[in-house]
Structure 1
Amino acid sequence: MTSKPPPGHFNILYFASAGSYTSKNVEALPAPLPLRKLFGTLEERYQGIRASVLDHSLVTINLTYVDVPDDETAREGEEEVVIQEGDEVAIIPPVSSG
């Protein structure tokens, strides 16, 4: 179980190669954050993570799988998903077994 994020933040959990890339299992990020800005925010912190990990990963918010839209593909009139204070976001890269 992960600890509760500090006030005004959400936790992001990094699994498999995402954890290897960031050298972290969990970190707190400021909330609220529009879901469409998540990958850009992570790319600013960890240059190259988008192409190496994020573009091939699944994402959950509070254990519910979500599709992460690009900033450019956000459509007018679509309801925007916003990550809220206290939420738990998980980055789940593909895992291969041998």
Structure 2
Amino acid sequence: MPRCTNSSCPMGTQIDIAASPAMASVPKPPKGHFNVLYFASASSYTGKDHEALPAPLPLSKLFAELEARYPGVKAKVLDSCLVTVNLDYVEVTEGDAEGSLIQEADEVAIIPPVSSG
């Protein structure tokens, strides 16, 4: 599968978040949890680079869970971000009862739009 290192990658490609020095120190999640990695404005808004959340969690409920923890994050960050699960881009569709489950030890990345001058 093709890999890229920025958020302009199309769905179905992988992003190499391991190339980020900040992510080299992310510990494995505790048993029964998965890691969420926050980049750019997502990190600024939450005040964290990463955290562990209880697994399993339906992908369709991810944004609601983050909104419950960080009120306002959905409108300010999540509605315009890309999401990867285990380095694969995914679409987060709220209310999708048939959607994927985020499993124990998975790695989810919240990647806001990237801009440069």
Say whether 1:31 aligns with 2:55. yes
Give runs of aligned pairs for residues 2-41 of structure 1, distance below 5 A.
Answer: 2-41=26-65
User: Over aligned residue pairs, what C-alpha RMSD do you find?
Assistant: 0.9
- Structure 1 unaligned blocks of 5 or more: none
1:48 corresponds, among 60, 72, 89, to 72
One-letter amino acid of the counterpart of residue 47, structure 1: P
Runs of 4+ in 1 over 6 A off after TM superposition: none
Identity of aligned residues (%): 67
One-letter amino acid of the counterpart of residue 114, structure 2: V
In the alignment, which residue of structure 2 is the partner of 1:65?
89
SS in 1 for 2:108: strand
Deviation at 1:80, TM superposition (A): 2.0
Deviation at 1:95, TM superposition (A): 1.3
Equivalent residue pairs, number = 93
Deviation per CA, 1:59-82: give whole Å up to 9, x if none: 0000000000112xx26xxx4200
One-letter amino acid of the counterpart of residue 87, structure 1: D
Could you tell me how far apart the structure 2 residues matched to 1:94 and 1:80 are?
24
In the alignment, which residue of structure 2 is the partner of 1:84?
103
One-letter amino acid of the counterpart of residue 49, structure 1: V
TM-score normalised to structure 1 length: 0.92
Greater length-normalized contact order (CA 8 Å, ≥ 6 residues apart): 1
TM-score normalised to structure 2 length: 0.77
In the alignment, which residue of structure 1 is the partner of 2:115?
96
